[in-house]
Structure 1
Amino acid sequence: MNNPLWRLFSGTVRGINQAMAYLSASLILVCSLVLVYEVVTRYILNISNDWVIELSIFMLIAATFLAAAHTQRERGHVGIEILDEVMSKRASRIRLLFGDILSMLFCGLVAYLSAVYCHEAWDQGWTTSSTWGPTLIPYFFMSLGMLLLTLQFIVQIVEGLMGKAPELPKHGHATTTSGQGG
């Protein structure tokens, strides 16, 4: 699509989703380090850290939701690969477009509802029941991640309607050294 405003929007969505993928990977790395810290302090130094598991859960929730849009951009979510093999390219494009529209509607609704829930949690000062008792910030990451996922679906839908063929998943297309399908 040659519209500069659209290119700016879709490029921004892609850039943000790429940044969120890096942030998600960093969160998983930090989560791993925090869990190693917990194991060392609990089993070697006999120090109890009741905040570690809760923090790890928060980081994994954030990592999961923030990486969802990037995963969708790569068409890395679970799909029925056999349909790509038995359907024509045109039928596969229509199937993907229909799936993207339904998914966009669902993710938009979840983004909205989780944002409302996040606002309630923040406004009413909800915290966890642990001794650490942090605010329920994972709701923010749920709403942000679902918003980014909704925006990614919008990019895919518009590009699909404008004739840009979606990149179909390349899973399960291994070849042997002789060049014959595996």
Structure 2
Amino acid sequence: MFSLIAGALRRFNRLAAYLSGAVIIVAAGILVWQVAVRYWLKWPTDWEIELCVMLLIISTFMSAAHTQAERGHVAIDLLDTMLPAGINRLRQRLADVLTFAFCGFVAFNAWEFFHEAWADGKTSPSLWGPKLWIPYLFVALGMTTLTLELALQTLRRKEA
């Protein structure tokens, strides 16, 4: 069962990472379009920056679990070489547990924000006024998958 969940999460995270890359390309295209129409056509623009911020939020949170699975986050390698092996394992386990607790806390609160924005119909205060539940959903989903990835990594480390 453990390997089935881990495999499904790995496939989901890989797909989310590829889609996050595509979202960044879309955001870059929107920004280039905005600059071009403002400069050459003198069109006023009001929605492009906010949409790109939302797209980058979506991309960041949806790719976080894949980055964690690949151990692509910033690490302090100096401590690995300086500390004795037993203390280093203890440090890594403590870091895994604290990171899991923090990400779980953020994921829980992100789902609360999503529900509140959905139930109350909250929108951005900008002229464009997109629904806020959309970025909140991706923050909550991304933090949840990151928390699951951390849990699986912690269990794997415990088994090793």
Matched, 1:82 2:78: yes
Amino acid corresponding to residue 37 of structure 2 in structure 1: T
Question: C-alpha separation between the residues in 1 aligned to 2:53 and 2:69?
Answer: 25
Amino acid corresponding to residue 156 of structure 1 in structure 2: Q
**Counterpart of 1:176?**
none
Question: C-alpha separation between the residues in 2 aligned to 1:142 and 1:108?
Answer: 12
**Counterpart of 2:103?**
107
> Which range moved further: 24-33 or 84-93?
84-93
Matched, 1:8 2:4: yes
**Counterpart of 2:36?**
40
> Which range moved further: 28-37 or 72-81?
72-81
Identity of aligned residues (%): 43
Q: Deviations over 1:111-144 (max 9, x none)?
A: 0111011110111010011111110121111111
1:14-163 alignment to 2 at 5 Å? 14-136=10-132, 137-163=134-160
Any gaps of 5 or more consecutive residues in structure 2? none
Any gaps of 5 or more consecutive residues in structure 1? 164-182
> Which range moved further: 72-81 or 33-42?
72-81
Question: C-alpha separation between the residues in 2 aligned to 1:8 and 1:91?
Answer: 32
After the TM superposition, which segments of 4 or more aligned residues of structure 1 sit over 4 Å from their partners? none
SS across alignment from 1:115? helix
Question: C-alpha separation between the residues in 2 aligned to 1:71 and 1:94?
Answer: 23
Q: Which has the larger radius of gyration?
A: 1
Question: C-alpha separation between the residues in 2 aligned to 1:93 and 1:45?
Answer: 60
Q: Superposition RMSD on alpha carbons, in Å?
A: 1.2
Question: C-alpha separation between the residues in 2 aligned to 1:19 and 1:97?
Answer: 28
TM-score (norm 2): 0.94
Amino acid corresponding to residue 97 of structure 1 in structure 2: R
Q: Which has the higher helix share?
A: 2
TM-score (norm 1): 0.83
* Shift in alpha-carbon separation, 1:108–1:11, aligned structure 2, 3 A: same
